[in-house]
Structure 1
Amino acid sequence: MIIEGLSPALQQLIKEDAVGQLRKPQGLMATLGNEEGALKLDSTDQAALNDIVRKIAHVKKLAQPSGEEASNPAFLRALLGDVMMVGVAMGMTSEEPITHLVWFTELLQQAGLRPAEHLLVMTLPGSYLDRFAEAQQAPSLPLQLDGGTGTGGRMSAPTTRVFLLPAALSLTRLSEEPGQLRTVLYRAWDEYDLALATEQPADHPFVQLAAALSDASLDGACRLLLSMPEGWQVLVPWIEQLMEESLGKGNKGIVVFSEQPLNRQASVSETGATLHVQVATGTAASQEGNAFVLSQPSLASQEPRNRLAALVASFLGWQLSMALYGYLQHITFAGQPAVENYKARARVLRDQEDPLQVTREWAARASDTDPSSGIPYSLFAPEGVEIQASPASTFARILQRTVTASSGYLSLGYLDLTINGELPTHSISVLDTALRSVGNELLGLPVKLRQAPAAYHSTEQSEMDGPPFLVSLRVLARDHEASILGSYTDTFLRAQAVSTWQAMMEQGRPCFLLIIDGSIDDALEPLQRFFSDVVAHLRRP
């Protein structure tokens, strides 16, 4: 049956009852989505731990720990006596939470506090983290309320304890009335309206969105430039992780960006395989060209419970769009197989005296010194890249060549800058401006500014195995802030930076590692100079 006025993708979703398949344990949708078996702290940089320690001390009106006081049992008891660390891992092989819990456990032991009373673990049965909890006799809760293991981390909201626990805690600040979370979830389920998606899919906004993305795609790949209502921009990183970690496989997928102005006069700028999505609180206007308006009136509410319900409904809606896009493009949206490569490499590097030793004899490198700060830095390129006179000229040359490598995929190009470690807040806007001047203005390409290691758990699957023809620049400072409490080194952070760079190159992706001889705080001037020189090289005829 052909329904007049509907796009090919929407026609297919209706004809094959794709939404209805979500409720069935067998069939193509079940196969593509089978995950069976499978203060926020998501950094292995000591600076992140220090920031949390300082915040706890400030709230308790304690002196900032330093010197002998940092190991004084009485001080540690005052600081940590009512603190609990919740370790979460939604993968069997996630190891970062264990490094944080080991650090915290040692502090508790110094303070004479019983670790089992200050630790809570939520993870998969039999995972690395589950084994750690058992060894420490720490309480462990299954992520799913039914004790199952079929929910991927990027889909942990709103149906697992990863979301439900903080949501419930936040509601206790509004009222002591019982049943608040249940009411919020019922309201969100009504707004999500799976019945409408099943019975009248052409009328459901998130089914329409999935079809629009599929219609805009090229060989299964699409760029999504997303504009959110005021106050909801924080949802973009979650949508980015959901789409890229789920769908970034076999050169297919959806790459998500915040909406950004692209220079349409740039020689490599293309509008194909791109969908500009505006999430609006009003009624959706008619859809034209490569633009789509997603109407979500509930996002306009300022009442806390209503906003939480709107958030839950958004989670469910975007997950529906993701699954339907995977269905249309035959992408297995369960699992993230590509990242296991870098995890295995990182384990080997952590056992070495210095995870950076592989770079010492690396032939494809270009070095320079920032004239203002006197800080040296080196760019390590994939083997076979023609090294120019400087890091900036080498990088500019590969940009010029890569973005024109295949006319069929120009619209899929983007530029990624990944900072390993905790970037000072004031530096983010400066680097974002520098990155946009290269990508948006000179090349007409969207850009990503990522912070690792968090980014490696959200979008690395897509960078390694999703839509191709990106160029990625990874930045690592040699020196890192020492931990002000306990023992925590930068070994894990260094190993992650090198292993992800190696894994990207093995996948044939143009990935560069820029190592700066100094701290991340000192890196801003060399990075500004680097991008300024890249711009100068790109502007040359």
Structure 2
Amino acid sequence: MSTLGLSATGAALDAVDRHVPTLVEERFASRLAAEDPTLWGPAAEEESSKRLGWIDAVARSRPLLPQISELAETLRGEGVDRVVLAGMGGSSLAPEVIAGTAGKELTVLDSTDPDQVRAALTDLDRTVLVVSSKSGSTVETDSQRRIMAEAFTAAGIDAASRIVVVTDPGSPLEQTAVEAGYRAVFTADPTVGGRYSALTAFGLVPAGLAGVDVETLLDDAESVLDLLTEDDADNPGLQLGAALGGTLPLRDKLIVSDAASGIVGFGDWAEQLIAESTGKQGVGLVPVVVDDGAPETSSDAADLLQVVLAGDLDGVAAPAHGVVVSGSLGALLLVFEVATAVAGRLLGINPFDQPDVEAAKAAARELLDSPVVAEERGDEVEGIAVSGLPADADAGSLTDVLRSTLTQLPEDGYLTVQAYMDRHADADLEALRPVLAQASGRPVTFGWGPRFLHSTGQLHKGGRPNAVVLQLTADAAADLDVPERPFTLGRLIAAQASGDAAVLADHGLPVVRLHLTDRTAGIAALRAAADAL
């Protein structure tokens, strides 16, 4: 039996007291359980009528468990015990949290960085590839699948026997899998959007094949379902949703930290759920995932709300304004999904669409389809090419470049650092985040590209235009061809970065671009420049 605890303080508690009685009176929870598409207004009704299967995901996913277990046992019997997951956004973030929390190995391919993809092409004799794509046409996932299949073949392994697919029924990927005779095809519930799919085949298949007890995960979610679908003032889904989306004035920067919850990477999953669901029509909640004790956790800025994930409510000091939430992973996945749906209603937006995501994809496709042209990378400062600064900005040193970037921040704005690099080998870049937050006195988000395009990318384009973008790109050690495609991974990731930068600039956001020709030296120089602020 799972336990779920929540406490709210300050502005968050005021929001709970203000909105929960109305949500109870309107029967929001029971109507959500009945998959009522009218909860978010007439403009959202058509989309929400097709996207509410997640509230019943536990029951719908139970029949998958024997299939997952049987396949996992068969593969292990063949000596195949390493799972590589090719997926973007919700298709990879949820299983990564599930596997990481259970202490199981899962190699996630959520990048088009040639170095990161190449690093996954190891131990192929014991590897199975899970290809997860709801649409079945995700360019990153398709490229990863082609590269892995070619690597299997080159190693003398029947690629089809080592590829498992998770997709929506009728997708191009399902057709490809059937025609190629892939090892298994799991078709997911099409009434569940990608960011709400943690408790569906997208979360369960990769994690289950990696050895996670996914039945217990579903049990924990099921144990709180009645509580979350009850029209009651003690409903933690209503309370959390009211706290997130109902503060007055709106505290739209959610500082997400972890106080010994025992759950690995939950903030990154919650970030994509909340940001993509709420960031549109000029409003939105900005999740800022930080370590415990980061500068933002002690800030008294009026637009910040603390969201603390805890192992024990009693062991955490209550923030001045915020919520502390505790529970098992299965329970928390479901409560945050419910809370995001509640926040969407309070914000007056449709939490199930992503109207601005396609713009960056279209821009990237246009660049890929164009003749290869050497990109103008700007002036070199300490070995790093700099572009996008205002004409009168001081750029004598990298520290000056960073300072000039921060001075563009609005009083209620935030900096978003977007690194189109290898999130494992180049992980030292994340140390920039708290240093820039301390120097600017404003929240700083950090996203790995192109992964964030499938999560916070919607927020950057559809939310309030009060962000400053610091985009980091780099040359790879060596490029990787994408079999049967007219582009390499290096060209693809460059097009994704350039395309997104252009779209963000068109939305009026300042975009400063730094390109590292030498990753090791460039990262060291950036860290030194940030420390000097």
Describe how 1:240-255 pairs up with structure 2 within 5 A.
240-255=271-286
Q: Which residue of 2 aligns with 1:314?
A: 332
SS at match of 1:7: helix
Q: Which residue type is aligned with residue 246 of structure 2?
A: D
Q: Which residue of 1 aligns with 2:322?
A: 291
Describe how 1:488-507 pairs up with structure 2 within 5 A.
489-507=489-507
Residue 206 (structure 2) pairs with residue 166 (structure 1):
yes
Residue by residue over 1:427-461, the C-alpha shift from the partner in whole angstroms, topping out at 9 and shown as x without a partner, is 534x444442232x232212222222222222211
Is the contact made by 1:216 and 1:274 (CA closer than 8 Å) also made in structure 2?
no
Q: Which residue of 2 aligns with 1:157?
A: 198
**How much does 1:181 deviate?**
4.8
Identity %: 24
Q: Which residue of 2 aligns with 1:369?
A: 381
Q: Which residue of 1 aligns with 2:417?
A: 417
Q: Which residue type is aligned with residue 210 of structure 1?
A: G
Describe how 1:218-257 pairs up with structure 2 within 5 A.
218=249, 221-257=252-288
Using the size of structure 1 for normalisation, the TM-score is: 0.74
Q: Which residue of 2 aligns with 1:304?
A: none
Q: Which residue of 2 aligns with 1:138?
A: 182
Alpha-carbon distance change, 103 to 293 in structure 1, aligned in 2, over 3 angstroms: closer
Once residues 385 and 479 of structure 2 are traced to their aligned partners in structure 1, the CA distance between those partners, rounded to angstroms, is 24
Residue 38 (structure 2) pairs with residue 27 (structure 1):
yes
Q: Which residue of 2 aligns with 1:359?
A: 376
Q: Which residue of 1 aligns with 2:520?
A: 521
Alpha-carbon distance change, 48 to 27 in structure 1, aligned in 2, over 3 angstroms: same
Q: Which residue type is aligned with residue 526 of structure 2?
A: L
Q: Which residue of 1 aligns with 2:100?
A: none
Alpha-carbon distance change, 92 to 15 in structure 1, aligned in 2, over 3 angstroms: farther
Q: Which residue type is aligned with residue 435 of structure 2?
A: S
Residue by residue over 1:284-323, the C-alpha shift from the partner in whole angstroms, topping out at 9 and shown as x without a partner, is 6997741322243xxxxxxxxxxxxx21111111101101
Describe how 1:187-198 pairs up with structure 2 within 5 A.
187-190=220-223, 192=224, 194-198=225-229
Q: Which residue type is aligned with residue 290 of structure 1?
A: H
Once residues 127 and 263 of structure 1 are traced to their aligned partners in structure 2, the CA distance between those partners, rounded to angstroms, is 42
Q: Which residue of 1 aligns with 2:305?
A: 275
Q: Which residue of 2 aligns with 1:124?
A: 168
**How much does 1:329 deviate?**
1.2
Q: Which residue of 2 aligns with 1:43?
A: 111
Is the contact made by 2:261 and 2:311 (CA closer than 8 Å) also made in structure 1?
no
Alpha-carbon distance change, 251 to 222 in structure 1, aligned in 2, over 3 angstroms: farther
Q: Which shifted more, 220-229 or 459-468? A: 220-229
Is the contact made by 1:241 and 1:459 (CA closer than 8 Å) also made in structure 2?
yes
Q: Which residue type is aligned with residue 467 of structure 2?
A: L
Q: Which residue of 2 aligns with 1:436?
A: 434
Is the contact made by 1:223 and 1:275 (CA closer than 8 Å) also made in structure 2?
yes
Q: Which residue of 2 aligns with 1:338?
A: 356
Is the contact made by 1:264 and 1:444 (CA closer than 8 Å) also made in structure 2?
no
Once residues 149 and 519 of structure 1 are traced to their aligned partners in structure 2, the CA distance between those partners, rounded to angstroms, is 44
**How much does 1:27 deviate?**
1.4
Q: Which residue of 1 aligns with 2:449?
A: 452
**How much does 1:470 deviate?**
1.6
Gaps of 5+ in 2: 1-13, 54-106
Q: Which residue of 2 aligns with 1:301?
A: none
Once residues 296 and 455 of structure 2 are traced to their aligned partners in structure 1, the CA distance between those partners, rounded to angstroms, is 28
Is the contact made by 1:253 and 1:466 (CA closer than 8 Å) also made in structure 2?
yes
Describe how 1:468-479 pairs up with structure 2 within 5 A.
468-479=465-476
Alpha-carbon distance change, 335 to 143 in structure 1, aligned in 2, over 3 angstroms: farther
Alpha-carbon distance change, 442 to 129 in structure 1, aligned in 2, over 3 angstroms: same
Q: Which shifted more, 389-398 or 445-454? A: 389-398
Is the contact made by 1:263 and 1:442 (CA closer than 8 Å) also made in structure 2?
no
RMSD between aligned residues:
3.4
Larger radius of gyration: 1
Q: Which shifted more, 201-210 or 519-528? A: 519-528
Q: Which residue type is aligned with residue 227 of structure 1?
A: D
Is the contact made by 1:435 and 1:531 (CA closer than 8 Å) also made in structure 2?
no
Is the contact made by 2:420 and 2:472 (CA closer than 8 Å) also made in structure 1?
yes
**How much does 1:400 deviate?**
2.0
Once residues 197 and 423 of structure 1 are traced to their aligned partners in structure 2, the CA distance between those partners, rounded to angstroms, is 35
**How much does 1:394 deviate?**
5.1
Is the contact made by 1:416 and 1:473 (CA closer than 8 Å) also made in structure 2?
yes
SS at match of 1:523: helix
Q: Which residue type is aligned with residue 242 of structure 1?
A: L
Is the contact made by 1:18 and 1:327 (CA closer than 8 Å) also made in structure 2?
no
Residue by residue over 1:175-212, the C-alpha shift from the partner in whole angstroms, topping out at 9 and shown as x without a partner, is xxxxx75465234311x2x3333435311223211112
**How much does 1:530 deviate?**
4.2
Residue by residue over 1:251-281, the C-alpha shift from the partner in whole angstroms, topping out at 9 and shown as x without a partner, is 222222225543799xxx7622322122333
Alpha-carbon distance change, 289 to 14 in structure 1, aligned in 2, over 3 angstroms: farther
Q: Which residue of 1 aligns with 2:146?
A: 102
Q: Which residue type is aligned with residue 504 of structure 1?
A: L
Residue by residue over 1:104-153, the C-alpha shift from the partner in whole angstroms, topping out at 9 and shown as x without a partner, is 23334445554332322211245453454355343663542xxx412111
SS at match of 1:471: strand
Residue 381 (structure 2) pairs with residue 379 (structure 1):
no
Once residues 40 and 95 of structure 1 are traced to their aligned partners in structure 2, the CA distance between those partners, rounded to angstroms, is 16
Equivalent of residue 397 in structure 1, options 404, 412, 420 = 404
Alpha-carbon distance change, 52 to 157 in structure 1, aligned in 2, over 3 angstroms: same
Q: Which shifted more, 35-44 or 5-14? A: 35-44
Alpha-carbon distance change, 249 to 386 in structure 1, aligned in 2, over 3 angstroms: farther
Alpha-carbon distance change, 131 to 503 in structure 1, aligned in 2, over 3 angstroms: farther
Once residues 108 and 332 of structure 2 are traced to their aligned partners in structure 1, the CA distance between those partners, rounded to angstroms, is 21
Alpha-carbon distance change, 215 to 289 in structure 1, aligned in 2, over 3 angstroms: farther
SS at match of 2:295: coil
Alpha-carbon distance change, 150 to 250 in structure 1, aligned in 2, over 3 angstroms: same
SS at match of 1:403: coil
Once residues 457 and 442 of structure 1 are traced to their aligned partners in structure 2, the CA distance between those partners, rounded to angstroms, is 29
SS at match of 1:199: coil
Residue by residue over 1:227-265, the C-alpha shift from the partner in whole angstroms, topping out at 9 and shown as x without a partner, is 342432421111111111111112222222225543799
Is the contact made by 1:206 and 1:321 (CA closer than 8 Å) also made in structure 2?
yes
Is the contact made by 1:247 and 1:254 (CA closer than 8 Å) also made in structure 2?
yes
Q: Which residue of 1 aligns with 2:135?
A: 91
Once residues 445 and 353 of structure 1 are traced to their aligned partners in structure 2, the CA distance between those partners, rounded to angstroms, is 40
SS at match of 2:306: strand
Q: Which residue of 2 aligns with 1:305?
A: none
SS at match of 1:53: coil
Once residues 133 and 358 of structure 1 are traced to their aligned partners in structure 2, the CA distance between those partners, rounded to angstroms, is 37
Q: Which residue of 2 aligns with 1:72?
A: none
